[in-house]
Structure 1
Amino acid sequence: MKKGGFMIRVNRLNNTEFVINCELIEFIEETPDTVITLTTGKKIVVKESIDEIIDKVIKFKNNIFIYRLKE
């Protein structure tokens, strides 16, 4: 898999990019900023919309599935 293939890239409100383990996402809400709450209880405010994050998670899951099929 390509670099960062097991994580999703998101941006803080100050445009700082970081990666997050999407398996730890418990829920996402827009308040109006997008807030990701992790299973650890940590909350992260990001620039991406809920739909953008969902798309990134779906792409992540598809990449894992395709990677395992190739093995």
Structure 2
Amino acid sequence: MIKLTRLNGHSFILNGIYIEQVQSFPDTTITLTNGKKIVVLDSEEDVMLKVTNFYQKVGIAKLVNDDPREVD
């Protein structure tokens, strides 16, 4: 789950699994897998970082290893 802020300043929690697309129009617009769109104050980059951290916490994204000798 990730915490975001709507344009009216109210925060809410979104399940990051349902995010299909994040765009800036210039407002950050999140498109969910069901087609619903949510506009938030958070930047596109902030949403991406929050989603990546969430994916890592729940184990659906590999943690980045800075060792260049390791090959995926």
Q: Does TM-score exceed 0.5, indicating one fold?
A: yes
Q: Aligned Cα RMSD in Å?
A: 0.8
Q: Which 5+ residue runs of structure 1 have no aligned equivalent?
A: 1-6, 66-71
Q: Segments of 4+ in structure 1 off by > 6 A?
A: none
* Structure 2, unpaired ranges of 5+: 60-72
1:30 aligns with 2:24: yes
What TM-score does the superposition give when structure 1 sets the normalisation length?
0.78
- The total of aligned residue pairs comes to 59
Instruction: Return the structure number with greater relative CO, CA threshold 8 A, min gap 6.
Output: 1
Once residues 9 and 40 of structure 2 are traced to their aligned partners in structure 1, the CA distance between those partners, rounded to angstroms, is 9
Q: CA deviation at 1:64?
A: 1.8
Q: Deviations over 1:32-70 (max 9, x none)?
A: 0000000101000000111000100111122223xxxxx
Q: Which has more radius of gyration?
A: 2
Identity of aligned residues (%): 44
Name the one with the larger helix percent. Answer: 1
